[in-house]
Amino acid sequence: MMKNGARVGSTNQCDSNNRKKRRVKFSSLRTKNAKESCVGRRGILVTCSPTQEAACRREAYQLLLEYLEIFLEKEPNNSVVNHALSLEDELEQLRKEPSKDISVKNVDLNLVYALDVGVKGSVFFAFQPSIVLDPCVLVYKIMQDVEMTKVRKCRYSVRFIPVDGVCYARKEEVSHLFREIAERKVNALAALEKNTFAVVFRKRNNSGVHRDEFIEAIAEQMPATFHVKLKNPDFSILVEVLKTSCLVTVVENYERYCKFNVHELWERLGR
């Protein structure tokens, strides 16, 4: 009996140690950056059920690192993006290369990290400043792989929303941030004769902001050659207010990729 008891005690101790190791692996993901502001960051907002946020953090963190590894491997000097390629050329190249058996091996685990945005069921994964990759390119690649392989890629993570920039949820801050984003992305779209757009506004955990004010802050920055088109625009401008932060992004194919909802896209493909 004593021997059996000793064996049971030893097994329990072993299980306890294994659980501790698993907890340590993602401990920094849960708490290290809990108080750090996401203002001034770029990255990807991942949404999920509020009751599954812990599982979503782990799952999305792993998936994003896997896809970052794809881009790292394409550059011999470990730069994350190839500046010789235009965005259109790079996306076309990626469409021809669906990801297979990807796993995190040599990628720096600190390239992306989770930050608290004050809204349950929403996790912002910030890119390190050294990453020059457009977050949209990474999200497009995930969605393209779902289309091509008909594999859902994740269980707990629902939407992967690229984020071009984050500011405080005030009209003047949004106006300033979008001016910077427009110089980078809207002008490039104009050169491709993509001149219709829609503004998609959402807010959570903030009753003090007004939708019309934020849309006005965006619209007043758009050149006269651009026109609003609510259905099937050339590109969409996403404005996500999460408590005191505002996340802004310029994206293409928003409706095609089911608003970047992996589960809806997978179901639409017939599984």
**Lowest mean pLDDT across 53-57, 72-76, 166-170, 246-250:** 72-76
What H or E segment, with its residue span, contains residue 239?
Answer: strand 235-242
Which pLDDT score, from 0 to 100, does residue 84 have?
A: 35
As given in the structure block, the two tokens for residue 223 are 């050149």
Average pLDDT over residues 253-261: 95
In a domain, 60, yes or no: yes
Give the domain range for residue 263.
Answer: 34-268
Which pLDDT score, from 0 to 100, does residue 153 have?
A: 87
Distance of CA 157 to CAs 11, 46, 111, 240, Å? 34, 7, 19, 18
In a domain, 10, yes or no: no
**What is the C-alpha to C-alpha distance for residues 69 and 223, in angstroms, rounded to an integer?**
37
Which pLDDT score, from 0 to 100, does residue 70 have?
A: 86
- DSSP summary character for residue 132: -
In a domain, 9, yes or no: no
In a domain, 118, yes or no: yes
CATH number of the domain within which 100 lies = 3.30.2130.30
Mean pLDDT, rounded, of the chain:
81
In a domain, 263, yes or no: yes
Count of structural domains within the chain: 1
In a domain, 14, yes or no: no
The whole-model pTM stands at 0.78
Which pLDDT score, from 0 to 100, does residue 94 have?
A: 44
In a domain, 16, yes or no: no
